[in-house]
Structure formats: structure tokens, C-alpha cells
Amino acid sequence: YYFPCQRWLAVEEDDGQIVRELVPVDEAFVKKDSENDGQSLATLGLEQKAKSTTYTVKVKTGDKKNAGTDANVFITLYGSKDDTGIVSLKASKINKNKFERGKVDEFIVESVDIGDLKKIKIGHDNKGNSTGWFLEWVEIDAPSLGQCLKFPCGRWLDKSEDDGAIERIIFPAELQTTEYIPFVPYEITVYTSDIFGAGTDADVFIVLYGSDGICTQQKSLCLNKREQRMYFERNSVNQFIVELEDVGDIIEKIRIGHKGGGLNSGWHLDRVAIRRLLPNGK
């Protein structure tokens, strides 16, 4: 069995996860890829990403005295087919200091298809100076399922409060579940020109337009400022797997640009290639 990864397991890189689930690929695909100098092994990592489901996990710490925690928080998502295993919530996309009183933190969790989300288990390791935590709620958005679920808690995870538990199993509130048309993964390849000053460190975004006026949301291609510095260099080819609204079989146009700012924001774009991926990753 061959399990390519080609992605970071680092709090400060990629999506911030330090554990990844990998699915096997055919041996011939690995050998063919390693023999072909023109195609990077990183493509295999993107194939993996296309087969996985991405969840945006928002966590609200209560607005009470000593509600925040310095402990290491973890979560497990349980679906109708499988579960994610224990996932550490290490890198909040919003706050440098996570799980502070009254704040909402946002994390990205990737997993193989676990089916419809049924429940979660969330807790902490009780390590650090201030460990007790008042958890208001957890919200999980699963674009590939077309669902956003709210998991209300409103209780302490603290050995000296409530029932003393530091982990809890929480079920979604049915009346607070939002349903929408499931997103699909697109493979977006961006070619930056080979001229002086062509590269950019700005936040690059894209919008896809289909027929009948259907369009996607505006989506940043980089997850953080570190990626912005790494990608879109002069004469580079960067590939992304992005989950977006399904605009159908025909893409009539795209809108691509950046938000400016910074020292090196000007960008000379050569071309963009887009492939709509089917559920089996083809």
C-alpha cells in the first residue's frame, strides 16, 4: 500500500493540522509520477486532498469569569460511516491566543468521508496554568455535505466545576441545522508569468461563474500569510484543491485578483487552468 502525503504536519503551515488521514493510491501511479520529471509528487498530495472532506469548526468560549483555557483542546467527529479520530485544535484561523473568554475560534479539519455527522466529542488534557473551560457551542460547516450544524454545550469542562468532566459528547441541535447545495472540489492551477517583478505576496482570490448566472463565493487560494509568501512567485505553477459551489459543467468565466497591500502586491498572471473533480477524485 502506498500512502502519499506531500503536505505539512505543522501548526504554522497549511491548515495547521499535525495529524493527517491518508488513503492509498495505486503503486503504478506512484512509480509513473516519480519517473516523470515534469510532474511533481505534490500532485499526489492534492489527489489525497480532493478525496477528503473538509470541515470548518468554530468553537465559542463562554463569556464568564475564567471561561478561557490554556489546555490542549481536541475534538472527534462521529459520522454514519466512520469517525475522524482525535484531532488536536492547534491553530485557530482567527485568534493567536485561542479559547479566550467570549471569543470564537475557527479551525480546519480534514478527514476521509465519515458520512452524515451525528455527534462530536470535545475535551482538553487539563494541562497548563488555567485549564478549566466553559464551552458555549461548536459549529461545524461541511461544504461537501451541504450542511452546517450547531452543537450547543453551555457547560464547564473543568474538574472543579459542574460534574467534573473535561470532555463531553454533544449532539447537533436539529432546529439550528442549515442545509444548502453541497460544494464540489475544483483543482485550480495558477501560472505566474516569467517577467521581472511578476510575483506577489498579496491575498489572491477567485470566483467561478457558470451558466444561468450561477457563481461561487469569493475564495482566497491561500490559507494564511505564510502561504501567500510561498506561492505566486515569478515563473511558478501553483495548484490548489478548493471546495466551492457547483457551477455546473460549463465555466463561462472567472474573476481572479488580489486584495493589494504589502510590499510586493503587484502580480503578472499568465493563465489559470481549472478542473472540476468528481467524487472519486478523477
What is the CATH code of the structural domain delimited by 2-38+182-276? 2.60.60.20
Give the DSSP H or E segment for 47. helix 42-51
Read off the pLDDT of residues 234-254 as tens digits, 9 standing for 90 and up: 999 999 988 899 998 889 999
pTM above 0.85, yes or no: no
pLDDT of residue 26: 67
Comparing 36 with 152, the larger pLDDT belongs to 152
Q: Which residue has the cell 490559507?
A: 223
What is the chain's mean pLDDT, rounded? 86
Q: What is the pLDDT of residues 199-237, one digit of tens each?
A: 999 999 999 999 888 899 999 998 877 888 889 999 999
- Return the CATH number of 53-179, one of 2.60.120.960, 3.30.310.50, 1.10.10.10, 2.60.60.20: 2.60.60.20
Q: What pLDDT shows up at residue 4? A: 75
Task: Tell how many helices (H) and how many strands (E) occur in the chain.
Answer: 3, 15
Half-sphere exposure of residue 40: CA atoms within 13 angstroms, side-chain side: 11
Ordered by start, the domain boundaries in the chain are 2-38+182-276, 53-179
pLDDT of residue 37: 44
Q: Could you tell me if 267 and 232 are in contact, meaning their C-beta atoms sit under 8 angstroms apart?
A: yes
Element (H, E) at 87: strand 87-88
Which of 175-179, 190-194, 205-209 has the least mean pLDDT? 175-179
Q: What pLDDT was estimated at residue 226?
A: 80
Would the CATH topology of 2-38+182-276 be identical to that of 53-179?
A: yes
Region of 12 on the Ramachandran plot (φ > 0 left; ψ -120 to 50 alpha; else beta): alpha
Q: How buried is residue 128: exposed, middle or buried, by Cβ count under 10 Å (0-12/13-18/19+)?
A: exposed
Q: Is the pLDDT of residue 50 over 90?
A: no
